[in-house]
Amino acid sequence: MASIDAPSTDQPRHQLPFPFSNQDDSTPPPLLLTQGAEALVYRTTFLTPSTACALKYRPAKPWRHRTLDMRLTRQRILAEARVLTRCRREGVTVPAVLGLDWERGWLAQEWIYGNTVRRVLDWVHRESALSSSEKEHQVHQLLQRIGSALGRLHERGLVHGDLTTSNLMLRPAESDITEEDKQVGKAVRISNTDGEVVLIDFGLAQQTVQEEDKAVDLYVLERAFASTHPEVEQEFGHLLQAYGESHKGAKTVLKRLEDVRMRGRKKSMLG
C-alpha cells in the first residue's frame, strides 16, 4: 500500500492470524512496516504468492476489556473497509479491499507499487538532478493532481482525517514498474513526479457533508507541508487552486479554510 522507504528489520512481534500464519517456505515472510498504538501494518501476500497486499492487523489489547476490544476492532475495521469500498465505487483512487476478518482483527488491501508523496518530494529537492525550473514545474503538476484527488474525495461527502504526505502515494504507470521494483523490501525507483495520486490509510476517515470538516482536512495537510516540506510550503496554493476547481462546493470549503487557519493561528499565539 505504501512504499518501503526504510523497511523494518524487526521480525513480526505478533503471531499473525489465519490465513497469514500458514504461508509456506516459498513465500517471503511478512515484513513489518509500521507499528502504532492500535494496529500493525505488514507487507505480505494474500491467498496466492503473487498477490502482494498491505495487511493492517489489530491485535487484541490485553489492557482493554475483551468485549469492548472486540467491539472496537469490529467497528474500526468495518468502517475503514466501507469507506474504501465506497471510494472505489465512486471513482476515488484508493487501494482495493481484498479481504477482512473483524473477529481475527485484520484488513487486507491492495498493495500500491509506488512511493509516498513525502518520498517523491524529498527526491525532487535533495536527490534529483533537475534544474530549478524543472523542479518547480514538476512540483506544481504534482500539487495540482493532489488537489484534484482531494476534491473528488470531498465531493463524495468523505474526509480522510489524517492527511499527510505519507498518506498520499504516487503510483507510476505499470510500464515503469520493473520486476525488481516488486520485490519485497524494495522501493519503486523514482525518476520523475509523474503518476496517479492514491490516497491510503483511511483509519480515521468519516462521512460528512460539513464544509468545516473538509476545511480541517485541508488545514491538516497544509500544516503537514509546512512542517515536513518547508521548501514547498509557498507552492501549496497550486494544490488549493486545483481543489477549488474540482467540484461545485469547493470554493465554499476554501472560504471556511480561512476561518480554520485563523483559529489555528490564535491557538498558536495563546499556546
Asked if residues 229 and 193 have their Cβ atoms less than 8 Å apart, the reply is no
The conformation of residue 12, written as its DSSP 8-state character, comes to P
Structure-block grid coordinates of residue 218: 485541508
Annotated catalytic residue 217: no
Burial group, residue 95, by CB count within 10 angstroms (0-12, 13-18, 19+): buried
> Rounded to 5 degrees, what angle do the CA atoms 36, 195, 108 make?
35
Asked if residues 42 and 33 have their Cβ atoms less than 8 Å apart, the reply is yes
- The string of DSSP codes covering 72-97 is HHHHHHHHHHHHHHHHHHTT---PPE
| Residue 55 backbone class (left: φ over 0; alpha: ψ -120 to 50; beta: rest) | beta
Catalytic hit among 24, 69, 162, 213: 162
- Segment 86-90 long-range contacts (CB within 8 Å, at least 24 positions apart): 86/156, 86/158, 87/153, 87/156, 87/158, 87/199, 87/202, 90/156
**Distance from C-alpha of 62 to C-alpha of 69, rounded to nearest angstrom:** 9
Q: Which residues contact 116 (CB under 8 A, 6 or more apart)?
A: 2, 3, 5, 165, 166, 167, 168, 169, 170
Strand 97-101 with 106-110, pairing: antiparallel
**Distance from C-alpha of 232 to C-alpha of 250, rounded to nearest angstrom:** 22
Q: Which residues are catalytic?
A: 162
